[in-house]
Chains A and B, each alone.
Chain A
């Protein structure tokens, strides 16, 4: 496996507006990196350029210090798992997996050995002689993975590989992919639009928006310290509180309400807090508290979600409780200092 470096990559189709705008990042050897973003953000374009399926307009793709921008796709020695799995319909599972080895002109007995090994590793041993049309979605997914891995690729690329599976299988497959990645020490680039999925599976997550990188960090850091309003919004922050007037480095005043945070305000204009971090408290006079009225409630299974009207606008609150509070209830909210995050962009 190898280290991947992407340098100032740009792409525009037919001279139209750029869909990728000078993006650069490095993925370390053996690292599992997800590219997260909504459709049209450029994540699939990035992956396809890395793979060699698309030409970049400018910039470089570098593997282990070697610029491969001009190397044709079939000579890059990468593995790729497609959203549609893209299995060869006219070949059996065994032949599908053996395809890449045949292209490398390996001896028949070595091909047999390596295919068998990878089929066993992915739990497909029994299905070797079946055709893709005779397999379930999950099985096709495994074949696709086995086919990508059997050539011992320098880099494994995955384009929304789990999005065609049902919810339960999706969780199971992502655990399995993670297990294989660790076992085989794979360098993986995984494209997805599912926030939960990529946080569960990745060492680092690269969030893209409109052809640019918004944030590239570990899931924990992104979750707790989103850098921009876009990232915060994308990963489930719903409450955005404007920084009206700065009182000191970590205190601000908005609508006559004084709020404190642990982070420096600098030039930021907005702070945010997750609904489950907002507390409903009894005493109204503590730090970072405000009064509000419940407008509506929703049952979420583990908890209740309330929309609360306050002087600084509507705030979403999630509270784990057995019985719901009723609408029009007057309550006091606390925005804990440590959970109020400053968004710098």
Chain B
């Protein structure tokens, strides 16, 4: 039998697990290099590149803009998505799976195309501000995560619990807030986290919707990388990794990281 004790399997797995982590470790190492270009092995230790992040307004503004877009888009997706999932799982609607597919359909469209199309219709066509375009695009990125994770959570919830609340004299609307929401809390937090992280990290959707006045952080890093090859990129990368790490610790503390992948 193939168990964790199998030697061949163990070797393969450990090699690739190391390969998975190694590139990120290298990024961390290069961020402390005293040399002016990104290279290994490092020649000395410095924290200057981290200081340099602060003198890049694109990074600071990008971070704030990314944060705003990610939070607003995630919250919007959460409200719209949770309502839709509740409607789908708890009423006698036919063709549930067709609706489900429709809500997940943004995942079928390449992200860059979503960004491209939104740019043309929302910004060029309707003359709306870039920020609105970004929110819409990232909302579309987020919605499928909400639909998937919250549907999984709703399916785990015993339907009779709501019925018990109704019988106890609780109206349908109140039951949703008093009984349903508290019991799918974990899925909702997980969905929010996945939305937030993916929106924060996304590039293709925002590709067409940026300019001198508004550039999201990942795009700002890419722009910097195209013109400079110094360890500032490593430093900001490390900052982002720490950011991801902190989010994961928070998730683990409140709901368990496994919830993020809808796992058990």
Encode B28-62 as 1/0 by CB contact (under 8 A) with A: 00000000000000000000000000000000000
- The answer to whether A89 has its CB under 8 Å from any CB of chain B is yes
Selected interface stretch from B114-122, B145-153, B157-165, B196-204: B157-165
Q: Is the CB of B169 within 8 A of A82?
A: no
Question: Which residues of A76-92 have CB atoms within 8 Å of chain B's CB atoms?
Answer: 76-80, 82-84, 86-90
With contact pairs A84-B160, A86-B160 given, residues A73 and B183 touching in the complex (Cβ less than 8 Å): no
Interface centre among A77, A79, A100, A148 (most CB of B within 10 A): A100
- Taking residues whose C-beta sits less than 8 angstroms from the other chain, chain B's interface range is 10 to 19
Q: Is the CB of B164 within 8 A of A104?
A: no
* Interchain CB contact (< 8 A) of B167 among A79, A83, A104: A79
- The answer to whether A130 has its CB under 8 Å from any CB of chain B is no
Q: Is the CB of A88 within 8 A of B183?
A: yes
Which residues of B lie under 8 Å from residue A90 when comparing CB positions?
179, 182-183, 185
Q: Is the CB of B166 within 8 A of A53?
A: yes
For the complex, what is the distance from the CA of A100 to the CA of B179, rounded to whole Å?
Answer: 12
Which residues of A lie under 8 Å from residue B182 when comparing CB positions?
90
Interface size for A (C-beta < 8 A) is 29
With contact pairs A86-B158, A88-B183, A90-B183 given, residues A80 and B164 touching in the complex (Cβ less than 8 Å): yes
* Interchain CB contact (< 8 A) of A99 among B160, B163, B170, B183: B170
With contact pairs A86-B158, A88-B183 given, residues A74 and B163 touching in the complex (Cβ less than 8 Å): no
Which residues of B lie under 8 Å from residue A84 when comparing CB positions?
158, 160
Min CB gap B180→A, angstroms: 10
Encode B173-206 as 1/0 by CB contact (under 8 A) with A: 0100001001101000000000000000000000
With contact pairs A74-B171, A89-B183 given, residues A53 and B163 touching in the complex (Cβ less than 8 Å): yes
Min CB gap B176→A, angstroms: 13
- The answer to whether B168 has its CB under 8 Å from any CB of chain A is yes
Encode A56-77 as 1/0 by CB contact (under 8 A) with B: 0000000000000000111111
Question: Top 7 nearest A-B pairs by Cβ distance?
Answer: A100-B168, A86-B160, A103-B169, A86-B164, A90-B182, A82-B160, A73-B166
Binding site for A on B (CB under 8 A): 158, 160-161, 163-172, 174, 179, 182-183, 185
Can you list 6 residue pairs at the A/B interface with Cβ under 8 Å? A72-B171, A74-B172, A79-B167, A82-B160, A82-B164, A157-B167
